[in-house]
Amino acid sequence: MTEASAVETDAVVARVQEAFGDRIRAAGVDYDQPWFVVARADLRALAAFLRDDPALRFTRLVDLCGVDYLTAGPALPHDARFEVVVHLHSFPLRRWARIRVPVPEDDPVVPSLTPEWPAANWFEREAYDMFGIRFTDHPDLTRILTPDDWEVHPLRKDFQPPREPHEWSFNPEEWQKAVQRGS
Amino acid sequence: MAVEPVEAEVTVQDERLVLNMGPQHPSTHGVLRLVLELDGEVVVSCKPVIGYLHTGFEKTFEAKNYHQGVTLTDRMDYLSPLSNNLAYALAVETLLGVEIPERATVARVILAELTRLASHLVWLGTQAMDLGAMSVFLYCFRERERILDIFEMCSGQRMMTSYIRPGGLAMDLPEGFEEAVREILALMPARIDEYEDLLTRNEIWRDRTIGIGRLSLADALSHGVTGPNLRASGGDFDLRRDHPYCGYEQYDFTVIVGSRGDVYERYLVRIREMRESLKIIRQALDRLPGGPYVTADRKVAFPPRAELATSMEALIHHFKLATEGYRVPAGQVYTAIESPRGELGIYLVADGSARPYRLHVRAPSFASLQALPVIARGGLVADLVAIIGSLDPVMGEVDR
Amino acid sequence: MPAVLFSRLADWGRSQSLWPMTFGLACCAIEMMATAASRYDVARFGSELFRSSPRQSDLMIVSGRVSHKMAPVVKHLYDQMPHPKWVIAMGDCASCGGIFNNYAILQGVDKIIPVDVYVPGCPPRPEALIDGIIKLQKKIAAQGSEEGER
């Protein structure tokens, strides 16, 4: 685990593109982290490939979250509203890889990674809670952070509850009395 | 006249009891709720219910500019605020592409390791208190006060310092910092020996922790567990060594790895990590150079106050930074550090404006708690308290 | 006359033996623990024990941010405490929502339970919390026993 592999990050991208061809919608390397954009139908296959390929060995699921690109976001390689972003980590390569899956607004469903990656369980529940993205085959897709009876998805860009106005009151007589009391 | 005991012929029905533990409970380390299904004293299933401290940090980050966001980071993992500051600062600095001066980098290492010490002291104090060793709690907090004195000396605040910011440090290290840290270095080894004297070979402690709460390496890796919890199960992975940041590759320290994966092993790993932290602090302190404490890039760092009286440019920079904030070029990065709890990651999506477009925090306790049902199943309900303490969850970062 | 003396004695006794409930929510809870620990030692002020059960405590120190999911629990715990009972809102989040004016956090615990003393700070120093406790002690000793019925 402590020996860095000789495979460069560019070679990681090349290897994946060789195996998946057109199914990789976009790919690149940013800050030494390879990233791939795939359709949701290919998510499980790509994750399994990254995990099982003997030169890659991205065996650890680090993080899974959603992103809402509704408002003017960075230039995107797709036009879906949401993305599910998965970060995997490889011990021998000592790198993280990012898989980005576009999720359309009218059908926010993505295959769940939980059956093969138990670590994804709560992360997917959080993505469901915060964005409303549903994960098929998830053992328990319920809200995890917000109260169970809430129906909103707070991290969506169009969820902007009003800031609660605070009422401030200042009573000069009370203030004078307090000053005289010395407290 | 002796009475012979008679074998009672009572058939006990198999009854499952559903017990609720928390969210207000003395030993759940915060507002954690566990729904337990018990068969007698044995835990059949344990379902953590979280969200009682959900604060909407990630949404709030999107509403604040990058400079304001630093104060939010302190309050997530509230036992190691400087670690959160550091992870955030590193993520923003990666996208900004600014050069951080050496003094700030070394100071960050010292502060991060002091934070690790302070956090482990709280862990040890509360875990010991949960298992009945009240004195250890008082001793640990006594030492922790000394470390908090140093944080207060640097930033004015004991806990939520917001001292490590994108660009460097909030202000220069104060005079007397080095002496104060050296005092801690002189004091701590004997104190850690004291804690070990009380616990490590204590029969009651060993009975309550050895063999309890086993987490296998395979389960730890598959559930995303990191940090001391993973290392106690045999996972040889520490971000300070394997993904070095802030110059950690220059320091000589051992990554403590256990094998048994039980509560006792997690205790030993953290105690030994405290000693390694002292080693790192000593090396960093010897290496601490003079010089600037913040980047020279005036588009990011506030100008020194003295310049505001003489330089128009400095005044304009100050104004723009205070009102609008600096803009971070568009891009995405995932940065992770080794917080006292494990891999604390920040996934930052920037869109070129002064506010993060999306800032997701990968909290190590979130993943560790996911493994709790696996660890607790089949154990006794009385051991749950020891197990939860040994995982060291902080609900502020679990719920964000 | 003896009744008045007795009730004043009772008020003084209550003020000097406040038993808080272990109710730490977030960061302020750590400062509350520091207040109870060696250097600041809140036991000097009568809070020798932090009782875990609301039924055995008379002071609830709400230390930390109260989320909407936690709010019914706080109310439930407050209702379970026997009279006379008092509440200290420790920290900015418990007092007014603090730095979190957003969808998730209750803007002050006084929206659901009556608060006697507000201790500002983020988090308040242990000395500040002790100052709050002393203020509460004065308040309890000064008012009549019938005020305890709330």
What value of ipTM does the predicted structure carry? Answer: 0.88
User: What's the whole-model pTM score?
Assistant: 0.90
Whether the predicted pLDDT of A6 surpasses 50? no
C-beta separation of B315 from B308 below 8 A: yes
Whether the predicted pLDDT of B9 surpasses 60? no
Cβ distance of A119 and B367 shorter than 8 Å: yes
The percent of residues above 90 in pLDDT, for chain A, comes to: 42
Distance from CA of B157 to the nearest CA of C (A): 9
Q: Which residues of A touch B352 (CB under 8 A)?
A: 74
Cβ distance of C101 and A164 shorter than 8 Å: yes
What residues contact A136, with CB distance under 8 A and at least 6 apart? A109, A110, A111, A112
| Residue C96 backbone phi and psi in degrees, to 5 | -150, 15
Cβ distance of A183 and C102 shorter than 8 Å: no
pLDDT band of residue A183 (cuts 50, 70, 90) is: low
For C70, the closest of B52, B78, B125 (CB atoms) is: B52
Mean pLDDT to the nearest integer, B356-375: 93
Whether the predicted pLDDT of A4 surpasses 50? no
C-beta separation of B159 from C31 below 8 A: yes
Mean pLDDT to the nearest integer, B316-320: 90
User: Packing angle between helix B177-199 and helix B102-130, nearest 10 degrees?
Assistant: 30
Q: Which residues of C touch A183 (CB under 8 A)?
A: 135
Distance from CA of A82 to the nearest CA of C (A): 21
Cβ distance of B242 and A1 shorter than 8 Å: yes
For B347, the closest of A63, A130, A145 (CB atoms) is: A63
Cβ distance of C107 and A183 shorter than 8 Å: no
Q: Which residues of B touch C125 (CB under 8 A)?
A: 158
CA distances from residue B46 to A141, B18, B34, B183, B225 in whole angstroms, order as listed = 17, 10, 6, 45, 18
Cβ distance of C101 and A161 shorter than 8 Å: no
C-beta separation of A124 from A108 below 8 A: no
Distance from CA of C8 to the nearest CA of B (A): 33
Cβ distance of C102 and A159 shorter than 8 Å: no
Put simply, whether B197 touches A (Cβ < 8 Å) is no
Q: Using CB atoms and an 8 Å cut-off, which of residues 68-97 of chain C contact chain B?
A: 69-70, 73, 77
Whether the predicted pLDDT of B53 surpasses 70? yes
Mean pLDDT to the nearest integer, B115-126: 94
* Three-state secondary structure readout of chain B: CCCCCCCCCCCCCCCCEEEEECCCCCCCCCCCEEEEEEECCEEEEEEEECCCCCCCHHHHHHHCCHHHHHHHHHCCCCCCHHHHHHHHHHHHHHHHCCCCCHHHHHHHHHHHHHHHHHHHHHHHHHHHHHCCCHHHHHHHHHHHHHHHHHHHHHHCCCCCCCCEECCEECCCCCCCHHHHHHHHHHHHHHHHHHHHHHHCCCHHHHHHHCCCCCCCHHHHHHCCCCCHHHHHCCCCCCHHHHCCCCCHHHCCCCCCCCCCCCHHHHHHHHHHHHHHHHHHHHHHHHHCCCCCCECCCCCCCCCCHHHHCCCHHHHHHHHHHHHCCCCCCCEEEEEEEEECCEEEEEEEEECCCCCEEEEEEECHHHHHHHCHHHHHCCCEHHHHHHHHHHHCCCHHHHHC
pLDDT the model gives residue A124: 93
Q: Using CB atoms and an 8 Å cut-off, which of residues 20-49 of chain C contact chain B?
A: 21-27, 29-31, 33-34, 37-39
Candidate from A5-14, B296-305, C47-56 with smallest mean pLDDT: A5-14
Q: To probe the interface with A, which of B54, B57, B233 has the most A CB atoms within 10 Å?
A: B54
Cβ distance of A147 and C96 shorter than 8 Å: no
Q: Which residues of A touch C (CB under 8 A)?
A: 146-147, 152, 154, 159, 161, 163-164, 166, 183
Cβ distance of B351 and A60 shorter than 8 Å: no
Whether the predicted pLDDT of A1 surpasses 70? no
Distance from CA of B24 to the nearest CA of C (A): 7
Put simply, whether B182 touches A (Cβ < 8 Å) is no
CA B125, B127, B128, B132 dihedral sign is positive
Closest CA to B258 of B280, B220, B229, B238: B229
pLDDT the model gives residue C149: 44
Query: How many Å apart are CA C54 and CA C73, to the nearest integer?
Result: 12
pLDDT band of residue A93 (cuts 50, 70, 90) is: confident
Put simply, whether A118 touches B (Cβ < 8 Å) is yes
Q: Which residues of B touch A30 (CB under 8 A)?
A: 331-333
C-beta separation of B143 from B121 below 8 A: yes
Distance from CA of B86 to the nearest CA of C (A): 18
Q: Which pLDDT tens digit goes with each residue over B69-97?
A: 999 999 999 999 999 999 999 999 999 99
**Residue in chain C nearest B63 by alpha carbon:** C102
C-beta separation of A38 from A46 below 8 A: yes
Class of domain A3-178: alpha beta
What does R_g of chain A's alpha carbons equal in angstroms?
23
For C122, the closest of B31, B125, B160 (CB atoms) is: B160
Q: In which residue are the tokens 């791939």 written?
A: A36
Helix (H, G, I), strand (E, B) or coil at C91: helix
pLDDT the model gives residue C13: 87
Cβ distance of A87 and B362 shorter than 8 Å: yes
Give the torsion through C-alpha atoms of A37, A41, A42, A47, to 10 deg: 100
**Residue in chain B nearest A142 by alpha carbon:** B49
C-beta separation of B329 from B349 below 8 A: no
Cβ distance of A155 and B58 shorter than 8 Å: yes
